[in-house]
Every structure is written in C-alpha cells, then in structure tokens.
Structure 1
Amino acid sequence: MNKKKIIIVGGGAAGFFCAANLDPEKFEVKILEQNSDVLQKVKISGGGRCNVTHACFDPRELVQFYPRGNRELMSVFSKFQPGDTMEWFTNRNIPLKIENDNRIFPESNSSQTIIGCFKKEIAEKNFEILTKTTVLDIQKEENQYLIKTNKGNFSADFVIYTTGSSPKSLKILEDLGHKTVLAVPSLFTFNIKDDLLKNLPGTSFDYAEVSIPKLKTEENGPLLITHWGLSGPAILKISAWKARELFGLNYQFEIEVNFIAKNMYEAEALFLEFKQNHPKKTIGQSKIFDVTSRFWNKLLEISGINPEKQIANISAKEIKTLLENLCKKTFKVDGKSTFKDEFVTAGGVELKEINFKNMSSKILENFYIAGEVLNIDAVTGGFNFQACWSEGWLIAQDLNSK
C-alpha cells in the first residue's frame, strides 16, 4: 500500500508528540525544523529538567490555568490529560515524578531523557528529521500541498503546522487564508527600579499579593526580587492573564504589592501583640513577620526607622509607614523581561477557525494546527506543554483512523 505523506512543520513539543503517535505503516513523515536542533524549548524548560506537565487531572480544573483557549481545551483535555501524559511516558520506561508544587518532571531530572525518548520513537518509525530547513511558503495544489523551503520543495498529503508563534510562521498561515491575533509576550517579569528592592535579588516571599489597580486585577502566590525588579508565580500569573492589556500600556503601569498577604489591620494586630510581649527588643532584631532579616532592615531604612530603636518606642506614625510599605507598597513598572528562556506568547491563529475535535483547520483541508501557533497560552507550571501533548495526540488519532 502506498503510504500517505505527512509534513510536520516545526520540530517542537507539539510536532514531535504528534509524530511519536503516528502509524508508520500508514504514513511517511518528515519533520522540518529551521533551527540546527529540535525540541529546544523542551531542552531548557524547568531549568533543563523539563517540566513535562502538571498534576491536575480534572479537565474542568485544568482549563482554569489557560488565560486564552480555556473553553476550547475542555474537549481536548477530556480526551487526553496529564494522567494520560504520565502513562504515555511510563509505558516508554520514562518514569515521571510529581513535586510538592504539583509540577511533573522526569525522575532523571534531565530534559535529555524526554528528548531522547522522542528521538527514539521517531527513529523506530523511520520518520525523518530535517534541521536547518526553513519553510518559505506553502501552496495548496489540488489534493496535495507544496511546501517550499531553503532546502528544496516537498509535497504532502497532510500538513501538521506546529511552528510556534513567530511572525513569519503566522504570515504563511495568513497567506493560506487563516486569520491571526497579534502575538504579544505573555509570561514575563516586571522591571522596577525602587530603593526597597535594591541589593536584594534572590529574596523571596512564600505568599504575596500583587494587584494592578488600573486593570482592576490581582494575583497571589510566591514572589521573588530579581536584579531587574519582581518575578515569581504571582507576577507571572498576572502577566499571563493581562498580557494584551499590559502590551496596550506599553509595560508602563503601577502595581501594589502586599509582601505578606495580610491586610493592614491584621498586620497591625500582629505588630502590637509583639510590641506588648517584647517591648525591650530592638525593632531591627524583631521577627514579627515572615520576611528575611535583610528585607526587614531595608524596610526599616526606607520607612525612616532606626533599627536600634526599642520596639516599645516606635510611634503610631512609624508603625503606619512601616506597615504601608509592607502591605500596600506601590511600585512603578517600567518595562518587562523575558522569564528565563521559556518565552510564551498570547496570540496566534484565531480559535474559531480550528476544529478542536481533531485540531484540523476549518479553512484548509487535510491541514492541522497545534501548539503555540494557536491563540492559546497558559501560566507557568507545565501547562503549555500539556496543551501541546494533548493537541498532538488528537491529530495523530485522527490521522491514524483514516
């Protein structure tokens, strides 16, 4: 029997997972990747450990982590979710582990384990990987597609488009008739110059609250001071949910931070109780709140309080200033920085042009689209990869059944 030809454009998570699930008896598959190596995001994810997915096994809960695409992904995750991902890797002798924050990693703590698994699957199926192969144009011809690249032309019965969201890859889809939403950065940290944060990079807070008053939005979670400003899950979540609005503000806005996630009344009550029990302690040595002593002393400094002062002698005005800086500190954000190398965008192919039963294009026949090229993105924690695995799996099931 003549095998049908499949061209997968883009050698990333969605493309490889799809290929790894395709039937080699039915298809001849080529993966075209413009870079010199494949699976680059998989390689650097989770600090080189590869955050494969997240231990959230109920699709209704899982979709809550996707600022864009949550409605559409409901049906996708009902067919293939993180539990299925774990089983898929376990069946290929790649044990995974769930960490305390519910992120899932390979037990080896190395992304090379995941990359090796994919490459082995592809090799066993005799599928071809072509690197340094840039797709320049795709043309529809009667029952086939002509894929023009810098390494010559390829024909395909089916195209699986998993390029990520670069402007060039979106332009090719636009030329084929798809509508796209402008891609803007999604997961990023906030650049802030402020005396309170100066010389404190690496200082973290277990649970803080961050709000953007102008956008009437708030998030909570761990917070981290960096060389450039603020990061950590609380910041990354707010940057994902408000990606388009923050792009519209040109990344110039104010945030309010509550470093201890307690309101002024609660904080004041704790302070006064400590003052009553330890009146002779110096304020600099007083461990009242769950913050580092370096941060506490910096807080005293910017609040104009001498750390040698006994806590009994701290005035009501000083307490108010101190607690406002701790619980209601306003910062001016001036720009953003990419979160590590795990660059994610909001934007891409319009979701109403995709059939989410099998990830096929409603505009183009025998053409499938998956991964970050779609207007779907998630907060950090393995969710973006899970969308890639689930979408890739659906495409493979659909093709295998033909």
Structure 2
Amino acid sequence: MNLNRLPALNALCCAALLGCAMQARAETSPYYLGVSETVTRDSNLERAPAGGPVLSDTFLSTGVRLGLDQTLSRQRLSASLNANRNQFRSQKRFDNTDYALNTRLDWATAERWSGNLLAETRQSLDRFDVDNTRTFAGRNLVRTHTVSTQARVGLVTMYTFDAGLSANRVQYEASPTRDVRQWTGNGGISVRPGSGLQVRVGARYTDARYPNFANGVGDDVKRRDLDFTGTLEASGASTLTARLSRTRESHSAQLARDYNTWTGALAWNWRPTAKVTLDTSLSRDSNIGSSSFDIGQTSFDTSDTRLRTTLAVKAQWELTGKVLLGAGVSTSRRTLDNSLVAIGAASVNSASDRTQAVDLSLRYLPIRNIELGCGVHWEDRSVSDPASTITYAYDVTVLNCSGQLYWR
C-alpha cells in the first residue's frame, strides 16, 4: 500500500461520503453549525523541567463546528469538522490553526453483512514534552491522515466473522525523524455463548515505517498480535470489556524496541444512577499498532515512548438538567528511549517516568443551542532517575473557559 497517497485518498473518501448525504432528506435537519470561543491559561507552555524557568501564556481559540448525522435506509452517515484559530497573547510564534475532519459510514445489508468506513484528517500543535531530548523548542505542527474499513458477517447468529484494514500517516512540521506511515490488517471470530457475553479471538498484523529515521535511513516495523477480547454486559447499567494480546514487535533499525510480551486493556462503564456515569480503564501497550476496543481503529503516537501502562477513572454527574460536573484522574508509567535521535543501537539510552493528572470541569446549558463551561487540568511528571538525559520532571496547570453556540 502506497501511504504517500493517503492524504488524497482520505480527501476522496470524505468527499464521497459527504456526497451520499446530499441525496437524502429528513424532516429534521441532520446538519448543524456552531461557533466557539475558548480562553486558556497554561502555566508551563513548553513543559519546561521542574526547578527551572518556565514560560506561561494565555491564548484565545476561535472555532467553527460543522456536522451532519444522516440515516440513509439501513445506512448511517456522520461527519464533523472542528477547526480553531489559536492566538497567543505573548508567544506569537506559537500561533496556529488546528482542525479535525471526520467522516463515518455505517452500512448494513438485508442479510447478515454490516460494517463501516472511516476517514479522518487532523492537524494540531505537538505536545512539547513528547520530544524528551529537547532537540526542538519552536512550533511543531503534526498532521495525521487515517482511512479504515471493517466488515462483519453474522450479526444475529451465535458466530460473527470480521475483517478490516486501516492506514495511517503522521507528519511533523519541524521534526521529520518522527514521521511514520502505518497500515494494519485484522480478522477474527466472535462468539455469543450467552446473553450479555461476547468473546472474540482474532489476529492483527501491522507494517510501519519511519522513513526519515537516523539521517534518512528508514526503520521498518513489523508487529503481530494474537487478540483475546471479551465483553460482558453485567446489567443494563454495567459493561466490562477486556483485551489480552500476545504481541511481537521487531524493528530493522531501532533494535532496542524489539520485544515479545503481553499487552492488553480493560474498561468498565458503570451507571450507578440515571445521572452518574463512571468510566474506568487500564491499558498496557506500545505506540505502533496499539488497538482500541473498536477493532477497526488503531492509535499511536511517535514519541520516544516504548511501552506505556495507564490507569484512568472518569466521572460525569448531571447535577440538574442544565448543569453537568465532570472529573477525572489518571496515572501513567512509561519506559522510553532516545532511539529516534540516536544513531545505532549502541548509543540508545533507556529510562522510565510516571505522569499523574487530575481534571475537573463544569458545563452549563442554559438553552438547547448554547453551552458554557470551565475546566482545570493539573499534570505532574516524575522520573525514576533525576540524572536521565531523555526524560525529566515537570508540572503544569491549565485553566480554560469556553462558550459554544449551535444552529441545527
């Protein structure tokens, strides 16, 4: 698969899916338009190491929201465009435009076939702490293009067969050594042995390449996963999902990242009352080829992270019909190396760190088309070895308040 053509293919898929929607009409308009304004205060803009000078700033984000959600016979088409112009009060060099264009078509036949087709294009300012070696401290935009498809046969039967393919391309404006192209194929069989229980056995194969690794010498990555996945609907208010995978990953250049180990994820969604929702998740995975519970979706970042274990708990409480309170806590431990900037395995250094975060948010919906809200995010990272040269400790507090107006 030629991933150099992925942006053009992505745009073509988006245009084709959106074109399908123009042939359909509904009594209630499936379209929406929105505008937003957000003010954000960041206490450590560049994620500078603890104990040293930090750069804080305030920036204004002016956004537009476009979307549709259209049913077409047995099919359903959804699409959204979120774009923001971000302007910093003091650090004008970081001014940027971020956007995310998503389209999804869920399809089904009169028989037992179903599936989906997804396309996504996004751009954002890269996180400063991702570059652990601090080789670049300016503005660095990252662009991601994704196309994926998944098909299933079975549905109402006891057995369901599925297969899919996804392609991703990530490009960095100022750090091309982190550019990566990836495609993943998957297939599996699901069984429903009883009401509320589904078990799946499947396999994934991922082929990725860092084309600019080590002064233009590419790094080819091969990953193979054997997946065991289960979903248990314990009650109408509780759903438990688990994945355990035997993972083998090999690199042609970043030899320190070769491994053969177990990866996996666990998620629990619980609604103790009609107004309270709790989501708990635990995951252990690498960057390349990592998978969510939606088998057709693969996610990755191209930082120095080699393996990450994360525990997160999120809660939402509907205080009234117009006021919602959100909260979240997470802790993440990772092992990492500097192989993306070190030439040759002999010069690769390893380290580990832990990041803890707390989030609080309050949303107010005075009327159907208006949403107001404020939030605060605390983040603290500690390192196992203070003398490490590839990771460091830092802390940051981010405050934001926003307003959104929608027309439907």
* TM-score (normalised: structure 1): 0.20
Higher relative contact order (CA 8 A, sep 6+): 1
**More helix by percentage:** 1
**More strand by percentage:** 2
